[in-house]
Amino acid sequence: MERFRQGYDVIDVDGVRVLFGDGWGLVRASNTQPVLVARCESRTEEGLQQICAIMKEALCSFAEVDDFEWEY
């Protein structure tokens, strides 16, 4: 959350929602499994790819994130 607050607006209710110019990325704990869930949305395919890449890079910077599956 702190990493994203340096450059983006962040909503920290039920996870961390990062607001980008044309969409958002959300990371939160799953209600049913011991995993983090990440979701992204954008107005364009290009924006979606960019938001996903930013979110994935941030998550993968943590040593605890050792198994990462990204579904589009």
**10-31: per-residue pLDDT in tens?**
999 989 999 999 999 999 999 9
State the chain's mean pLDDT as an integer.
90
Question: pLDDT grade, residue 45 (50/70/90)?
Answer: very high
pTM of the complete model: 0.84
Task: Count CA atoms closer than 13 A to 34's CA, side-chain side.
Answer: 1
pLDDT value, residue 3: 87
For each of the domains in the chain, give its residue range(s) and CATH number, in order of start. Answer: 2-60 (3.30.310.50)
58-60-64-66 Cα dihedral, nearest 10 degrees: 160
Cα separation, 47 vs 67, whole angstroms:
25
Q: What are phi and psi of 41, to 5 degrees?
A: -145, 145
Look at residues 46, 64, 55 and name the one whose alpha carbon lies nearest to residue 16.
Answer: 55
